[in-house]
Amino acid sequence: MWQPHGSTASSEQKLERLSELGLDHGINYASENFVQRARELTDGRGADVIIDSVGGQTLVDSIGALAYRGSLVSVGLAGRAGSNIEARDLWEKNNALHGVFLGGALRNEYPRVHSMIADLIGRVGNRELRAVIDRTFPLAEAAAAHAHIKSRQAFGRVVMTP
């Protein structure tokens, strides 16, 4: 069964670009309360799955946007802050919290992860998947690449070349 796809971004321009990639509903978290808007878009039900790459308060707030028996997946800490989650907030709606860390997966299940990464790279090479490249920097301009990423203006990957 088809499910609509939603995402958050910090600007209307980024949401427009996401729409070109198949986004159904965009929420500008800089101007809207993403929890409230997610509830509105789902007629009060909430999202079945939320993938959070920020951590901190964003991860905590995401619990409020989850549907009953929804799953919250934490894949990073772009906000560089830990999260103080009250377990009761998850239990009330029988929600699940999953942590995903590639480093741990590489350590504990290298053959599976290596094969998965090789498959994904092959699919990009065959043009089945598209990697969105925001900008390319020569390695000598690593500081500028870092500043660009930190500015939160990037849309897609920032690549450094030798």
Question: Residue 25's CB: how many other CB atoms inside 10 A?
Answer: 17
Is residue 10 over pLDDT 70? Answer: yes
Domain end among 86, 101, 116: 101
92 and 119 part of one domain? no
86 and 121 part of one domain? no
Query: Residue 2: its pLDDT value, please?
Result: 58
Residue 1 lies in a domain: no
23 and 92 part of one domain? yes
74 and 51 part of one domain? yes
136 and 78 part of one domain? no
Query: Residue 80: its pLDDT value, please?
Result: 65
Both tokens of 96, joined, read: 């699940």
Query: Residue 159: its pLDDT value, please?
Result: 97
Residue 16 lies in a domain: yes
Both tokens of 52, joined, read: 């959070």
86 and 10 part of one domain? yes
Residue 131 lies in a domain: yes
115 and 96 part of one domain? no
End-to-end CA distance of the chain: 45
83 and 135 part of one domain? no
- Whole-prediction pTM: 0.84
Query: Residue 1: its pLDDT value, please?
Result: 57
Interval 3-32 mean pLDDT: 92
Is residue 82 over pLDDT 60? Answer: yes
Q: HEC profile for the chain?
A: CCCCCEEEECCHHHHHHHHHCCCCEEEECCCCCHHHHHHHHCCCCCEEEEEECCCHHHHHHHHHHEEEEEEEEECCCCCCCCCCCCHHHHHCCCCEEEECCHHHHHHHCHHHHHHHHHHHHHHHHCCCCCCCEEEEEEHHHHHHHHHHHHCCCCCCEEEEEC
pLDDT tens-digit series, residues 24-75: 999 999 999 999 999 999 999 999 999 998 888 889 999 999 999 999 999 9
Query: Residue 76: its pLDDT value, please?
Result: 74
118 and 86 part of one domain? no
Is residue 101 over pLDDT 70? Answer: yes
Query: Residue 54: its pLDDT value, please?
Result: 86
Q: How confident is residue 84, by pLDDT bands cut at 50, 70 and 90?
A: confident
73 and 145 part of one domain? no
71 and 37 part of one domain? yes
pLDDT tens-digit series, residues 112-148: 999 999 999 999 999 999 889 999 999 999 999 999 9
Q: How distant, in Å, are the alpha carbons of 10, 67, 69, 141, 161 from that of 153?
A: 9, 31, 34, 17, 20
Q: What is the CATH number of the domain that holds 87?
A: 3.40.50.720
Tell me how many domains the chain contains: 2
Q: Let me know: does 93 contact 66? Beta carbons within 8 Å.
A: yes
Both tokens of 17, joined, read: 């670009």
121 and 52 part of one domain? no
Range of the domain at 155: 105-161
